[in-house]
Structure 1
């Protein structure tokens, strides 16, 4: 296997007014919180969105590890549906001191390029900012952050910047190149 250079960008918003919402796409696109913790559904979203862009860190997780993540106080999964079909998701992971990480965000390949991503990201970031309204024991959000890398979709970083995120760190590393696993074992990457 060969090495590949990977650039990782960390971006943040420090006030709700930083959010620059995207225009909602045409058609029947809805965003709904997955309120019932479901390791099966969460793994489906993770593998389906990240299969062609080399998301591999969670593929080996056990059912119990998925349950543990989903049971963590404040973790939320917001799912975009296009005419009833899951199109993508955003996962919020609250941290200490009023910080919320956008842990995962993306669209299933068939739904990319249809203006759903900017809308879903806008909605997810707004939910990160108002997380305390759904989690009374939590203080208000003071910062929303995420990271993206050169292995993600070609428009990912630009989408974050258009939504009002600012770059605060850049890291360049060498990683062993891994073949894109596709949405399930044995599937062909798109």
Structure 2
């Protein structure tokens, strides 16, 4: 379905975002790590409570909701699946970033989830995490690495991905139930997105 030019109503209780899909088909030129004391930790068979906590701390401000709405069994089936790799960015001994790579489709790697907690935004931690993400993605036999982001995310997300070597190739509109209205996210999450009941 093609959305017509002009305004289109978004029903009350819903949120709408423009989603940009980005890809790279060859390893990019490596960018230097910024100064900082971060490490990357591979999390084998992530505990559900741990995953929910880091997912919330990284994504709640941007209304990440898809995994939050899953049952424990649904979530475990994904994050424990062969071909899924989960990593934590560690800062001062605490997990403060999430990287999830999906290698389940042959020849491809999706950066399924990528982000750092609010205190680390603008510190260079995301650049460190992206450098590690691309190293791991391209260490496999892949022809394509891709990611998507949306207008609910940090305003610099698309530019950050482009500086990292990704090229935009598709744009979509996503409409979903507002996660703040069903308790998936707190009502004060993502204050930059108004709640319309």
- The TM tier, using the shorter chain, reads 0.7 to 0.9
- Give 5+ residue unaligned stretches, structure 2: 1-11, 191-197
Match of 2:4 in 1: none
Figure out how many residues of one structure are paired with residues of the other and give that number: 179
Match of 2:195 in 1: none
Please list, as runs of the form range in 1=range in 2, the aligned pairs for 1:1-190 lying within 5 A after superposition. 1=12, 5-16=16-27, 19-131=28-140, 140-175=141-176, 177-179=178-180, 186=186, 188-189=188-189
TM-score with structure 1 setting the length: 0.83
Superposed CA RMSD: 2.5
SS of 2:128's equivalent in the other structure is helix
Q: CA deviation at 1:21?
A: 3.7
More helix by share: 1
Q: Which has the larger radius of gyration?
A: 2
TM-score with structure 2 setting the length: 0.80
Runs of 4+ in 1 over 4 A off after TM superposition: 2-5, 173-178, 184-188
Q: CA deviation at 1:180?
A: 9.1
- Give 5+ residue unaligned stretches, structure 1: 132-139
Residues 10 and 167, structure 1, Cα contact 8 Å, conserved in 2: yes
**Partners of 2:112 and 2:19 in 1: CA distance:** 14
SS of 1:96's equivalent in the other structure is coil
